[in-house]
Structures are given as C-alpha cells and as structure tokens.
Amino acid sequence: QMAAYLAEDLWLDLAGRANRAADRLADGLQLRNRGGFVQPVEANMVFARWPRSLHRHLLSAGADYYLWDGTLDGGPEEAPLTARLVCDWSTRDDGIDAFLDLI
C-alpha cells in the first residue's frame, strides 16, 4: 500500500486536494466575516475563533469539528472559542458549502 501511495506522487496529489479544500473553507469564512484565524492557513487545517453561541449553533446543526480550547458548557455565550477544522483529500466542495451555509 505504501508503494502505491508514493507512486507517481499520489501522496502529493492527495495533500494538494486537502490543502485546496482548507483554502476554500478559509475563503468562505472570510467572505462571511467569520475568519478570526488564530493561525495562517498553510495546510489542511483552519483554526478560527468564534463566540460560544456560534459553536453551539453549528454543532447542534450537525457540523463536525473540534473545539480546541474550551467546551460548550459553562461560560458566557459571547466568549470566543477556537475551532479546529480539518480537511482531507475527500472533503467535497458541497460539504464545505453546507458548513458555510450554517454560518
């Protein structure tokens, strides 16, 4: 399996797909004024800070991502928490668009 992964730069193609998906996600967040990026988007991960209330809305609507520095429980609704959004080679544009539509 590893030989197939390395053959003809398959790994590079898959990484490129994941990185392009993260760029698309970050661009969409910026267009919606929901950037708040904690780190520059340089690979397949996006770290963005939003109010706890937005996280609560997104997660209850079925979004699937990690809270990096806190929990939904306790604390003021306007308190910022960091989202860790990870894209992979199979992340589809329609999935990104569906997530952005929730924002």
Predicted local distance difference test score (pLDDT) of residue 7: 80
Contact partners, residue 39, CB within 8 Å, separation at least 6: 45, 47
Is residue 5 pLDDT above 90, yes or no?
Answer: no
Q: What integer is the mean pLDDT of 34-47?
A: 94
The tokens describing 17, both together, are 């797909």
* pLDDT-wise least confident of 19-23, 71-75, 88-92: 71-75
Q: Is the pTM of this model over 0.75?
A: yes
CATH class for domain 2-102? alpha beta
Answer whether 78's CB lies under 8 Å from 49's CB: no
Predicted local distance difference test score (pLDDT) of residue 22: 99
Q: What's the pLDDT band for 62 if we cut at 50, 70, 90?
A: very high
